[in-house]
Amino acid sequence: MSGDRFSLAHGIGGAKDLPIPPELAILGAVAALIISFTVLAVAWRTPRYDESKTGHPAPGWLARVVDSTPFRVTLRVLGIVGFGYTATAAVFGQDLLTNPVFGIFYVWWWVGLVVLSVVFGPVWKAISPVRTINLAFARLSGSAPETGVFQYPARLGYWPAALGLFAFVWMELVYPFSTELGPVRLWCAIYVALMLLGGALFGSGFYERCDPFEVYSSLAAKLSVWGRRDGQLIVRSPLANLDTTRAVPGLLAVVSVLFGSTAFDSFKDSNFWVRYTQDSSTSTYLLNNLALLTFCAGVGLIFTIGCVATGVGPGTRRLELPDKFAHSIIPIVVGYIVAHYTTYLVEYGQQTLIQASDPFGDGSNLLGTGDLTVNYWLSFHPTFLAVLKVLAVVVGHVLGVIAAHERAIELLPKRHQLTGQLPLLLAMIAFTVGGLYLLFAA
Amino acid sequence: MRRTATVLTLLVCTLPLLAACGDDNTGSPPASADDSATVEITFSDGSVTPRGERVEVEVGEPIELVVKADEPGELHVHSSPEQELEYDAGTTTLKLTIKQPGVVDVESHDLEVVVVQLEVS
């Protein structure tokens, strides 16, 4: 039965989405172009998202509930229960594609977490089982969870998280045995071990910088309406929230991996790549490795050139700019995740919910979902899907352009504020046109 | 305020165009060269032709995979849900219908090669 999967060509999930019609792709690209230059021409010239002033306090009852101990404890318990259930299925379940672990790992965790974070804020921080375990150890040993043996070196920033995210996408997209239980189990075991070790060594601040899922979730949460000021829950516009993203070292690496990997995922399914890798005498594994690296590094490189090819004032160093502008890729990443993974999340996500009732493959129905059927409405409406994809990519692009514009106004000297934005604008247009082309050539 | 209004107006004007143009293209695939949806697959000496050719078919259209093989084997069809089709040595005609739109890969189980990509619309 283990010959069921051959991941050199496939991950999980059945049929893939149809390519979008060329007219829609072109229309999307043109809309992105027009709106970008309009924003550049007519948008504001003085910074408008002052972090200390944007947003207003959330309704009192909501703030009281969210900040209450029972609420926080419930979330932590939910995270641990989910972790325990998944771990049990991973250790005692069968190595078949019907094991819910694959759907939980590749769909609920990887895609679902992003959607939840955009709606509800930094979700992983609230439910992360590794944080909970670290907290429990700290309580048991009587120390504070925030303090560790060492101080986390600030220069490292998000780089470990970028590596962790790359390790995930490598596993998902390149590793030939990504749909076998052993490798998935091993990946998760290494993840948990490294996270617990890091938490013990550096304190819980380690998770904010090095837990790939916490970094991913918290960055996606910058597009939500939720924020905090002086510990108080506030509500503010996603653009204002996005502007509060700190320029931590490695931020560009993180968003490059996220965007590059999604673009590669799309590229990998194209008929061109399938035929090229099969006809080539070079191993598909090597080609996929090189392509994934090229996409991730390419995104970072194009963005860096777009950022540094600008005039700067005397106080600013050019090489600091990419990390300071990197937050503007976040909406582009989320738009592209929506475009590429919506059917996957909705349809394979339902399939996973059904499979979750039978974690050991013995015909049981533990959660009561075993008799449900998957609703394939999305797949039966390819036109709706195509419009949704193009809208998601274009809206993500527009939000990215606006975010970059705001940052340019803050950082660049007056005489370079418009012309200085052009290289970055062109880089973003290249990303969007490239993204739309990949959706068309799928 | 005026500038924000300008941008928003442009956005509002452009986005419905996306939806409107989308409707013109509901599920009418260009005429494929092979209207009867028959795909010929040949396995010999550990290789297969075609290798990743894309074939356009319609939802619910009966598809015939005519397999000429020197050894028995299996084709794995990545539809939702997935299907496995076995064939023997010699010529076998495998019948297949895909009931929902999407791109369905048909792979050779033994050679780990995508033989045909069915674009179902």
B107/chain A closest Cα distance in angstroms = 8
CB A438 within 8 A of CB A337: no
Q: What's residue B17's pLDDT?
A: 54
By the 8 A CB rule, do A211 and A145 touch?
no
Question: Chain B partners of A274 at a C-beta cutoff of 8 Å?
Answer: 52, 105, 114, 117
Contacts of B6 in chain A (CB under 8 A): 38, 42
Sheet holding B83-87, edge to edge: B53-57, B113-120, B102-108, B73-77, B83-87
Chain A residues whose CB is inside 8 A of the B111 CB are none
Using the beta-carbon criterion (under 8 Å), do A379 and B80 form an inter-chain contact?
Answer: yes
* CA nearest to A261, candidates A159, A391, A172, A385: A172
What's chain A's average pLDDT? 92
Question: Contact A9/B107, CB-based, under 8 Å?
Answer: yes
Shortest Cα–Cα distance, B3 to chain A (Å) = 6
3-state secondary structure of A57: strand
Closest CB to A14 among B79, B113, B121: B79
Helix, strand, or coil (residue A290): helix
At A56, which helix (H) or strand (E)?
Answer: strand A56-57
Cα A200 to its chain centre, rounded Å, is 26
- For the entire predicted model, the pTM comes to 0.91
Task: Note whether B17 contacts A31, CB cutoff 8 Å.
Answer: yes
Question: Tokens 């069915």 — which residue?
Answer: B118
Per-position DSSP letters for A73-132, written without gaps between them:
HHHHHHHHHHHHHHHHHHHHS-SSTTSHHHHIIIIIIIIIHHHHHHHHSSHHHHH-HHHH
Per-residue pLDDT of chain B (121 residues; tens, 9 = 90+): 555 656 666 666 556 555 544 444 444 444 444 456 899 999 998 889 899 999 999 999 999 999 999 999 999 999 888 889 999 999 999 999 999 999 999 999 888 889 999 999 9
In a mutational test of the B interface, the residue from A274, A285, A288, A342 whose CB has the highest number of chain B CBs within 10 Å is: A274
Cβ pair A39:B7 closer than 8 A? yes
Find chain B residues with C-beta within 8 A of A42's C-beta: 3, 6-7
d(CA B80, CA A191): 31
Q: Which of A17, A27, A395 to mutate to probe the B interface, most B CBs <10 Å?
A: A27
**Any domain includes B108:** yes
Determine, yes or no, domain membership for B60.
yes
Q: Which two tokens stand for residue A89?
A: 């299925």
CA distance, residue B29 to nearest chain A CA (Å):
10
| Number of folded domains that form chain B | 1
Residue A384 reports pLDDT greater than 60: yes
Residue B53, in any domain of the structure = yes
Of B21, B76, B78, the CB nearest to A27: B21
Q: Residue B86's domain is classified under what CATH number? A: 2.60.40.420
Report the chain B residue with the minimal C-alpha distance to residue A43.
B3
Angle CA A75–A78–A79, to nearest 5: 90
Residues of A in contact with B80 (CB under 8 A): 13-15, 347, 374, 376, 379
Cβ-nearest to B3 among A43, A347, A391: A43
Distances (CA, A) of A128 to A83, A275, A280, A306: 9, 41, 43, 36
Cβ–Cβ contacts within 10 Å for residue A91, how many?
Answer: 11
Mean pLDDT of A60-82: 95
For A189-228, the pLDDT digits (tens) are 999 999 999 999 999 999 999 999 999 999 999 999 999 9
> According to the model, what pLDDT value does residue B22 have?
45
pLDDT band at A413 (very low <50, low <70, confident <90, very high): confident
Confidence of residue A315 (pLDDT cuts 50, 70, 90): confident
Please check whether residue A8 touches B, CB under 8 A: yes
Residue of B nearest to A347 (CA): B80
Instruction: Report the C-alpha dihedral over residues A300, A388, B10, B12, rounded to 10 degrees.
Output: -150
In this prediction, residue A310 carries a pLDDT of: 82
| Average of per-residue pLDDT across A127-133 | 96
Q: Which of A211, A187, A207, A166 is nearest to A87 (CA)?
A: A187
What is the radius of gyration, based on Cα positions, of chain B? 21
Instruction: Please give, rounded to a whole number of angstroms, the shortest distance from the CA of B101 to a CA of chain A.
Output: 6
In sequence order, what DSSP letters do the residues of chain B get, joined into one string? Answer: -HHHHHHHHHHHHHHHHHHHHHHTTTT-PPPPS-TT-EEEEEEETTEEESSSEEEEE-TT-EEEEEEEESS-EEEEE-SSS-EEEEE-SEEEEEEEE--S-EEEEEEETTTTEEEEEEEE-
- Joined together, the tokens standing for residue A385 give 């899907």
Taking any CB pair shorter than 8 Å as contact, residues of chain B touching chain A are 3, 6-7, 10-11, 14-15, 17-19, 21-27, 51-54, 76, 78-82, 98, 100-105, 107, 109, 112-114, 117, 119-121
Q: In what order do the strands lie in the sheet with A226-229?
A: A56-57, A232-235, A226-229
Q: Which two tokens stand for residue A372?
A: 């449900």
DSSP of A184-223: HHHHHHHHHHHHHHHHHHH-THHHHHH-HHHHHHHHHGGG
- Environment class of A416 (CB within 10 Å of its CB; exposed 0-12, middle 13-18, buried 19+): middle
Per-residue pLDDT band for A336 (boundaries 50, 70, 90) equals: very high
* Section A141-164 average pLDDT: 92
Contact check, Cβ <8 Å, B51/A442: no
Six-digit token pair at A151? 């101080």
Whether the CB-CB separation of B78 and B98 falls below 8 Å is answered with no
pLDDT tens digit sequence for A158-199: 999 999 999 999 999 999 999 899 999 999 999 999 999 999
For A278-303, give one letter per residue: b (16+ CB within 10 A) or e.
beeeeebeebbeebbeebbebbbebb
**Is B99 within the bounds of a domain?**
yes
Determine whether the interchain pair B80/A21 forms a contact, defined as Cβ–Cβ distance below 8 Å. no
CB-based contact B107 A10, cutoff 8 Å: yes
Q: Does A14 touch chain B (CB under 8 A)?
A: yes
**Which residues on B lie below 8 Å from A6 (Cβ)?**
76, 107, 109, 112
Q: Nearest CB to B18: which of A17, A27, A34?
A: A27
Question: Which residues sit opposite A16 in a β-bridge?
Answer: B103
A178 CA: distance to closest CA in chain B (Å): 15
Residue B82 lies in a domain: yes
How confident is the model at residue A40, as a pLDDT? 85
Residue A7 clears pLDDT 50, i.e. is over it:
no
- Taking phi over 0 as left and psi of -120 to 50 as alpha, with beta for the rest, A286 belongs to alpha
Question: Could you read off the pLDDT of A45-59 as tens digits, one per residue?
Answer: 888 888 888 889 999
Helices (runs of H) and strands (runs of E) counted in chain A: 20, 3
The string of pLDDT tens digits covering residues A111-127 is: 999 999 999 999 999 99
Collect all residues of chain B within an 8 Å Cβ-Cβ radius of residue A266. Answer: none
Separation CA A216–CA B70 (nearest Å): 50
Q: Is residue B44 part of a domain?
A: yes
A376: pLDDT strictly greater than 70: yes
> Is residue B97 a contact partner of residue B62, using CB atoms and an 8 Å limit?
yes
Domain containing B101 equals: 37-120
> Contact A42/B6, CB-based, under 8 Å?
yes
Q: Is residue B75 part of a domain?
A: yes
Chain A segment 398-427 residues within 8 A of B by beta carbon are 398
Chain B contact for A315 (CB, 8 A cutoff): no
Q: Is residue B27 part of a domain?
A: no
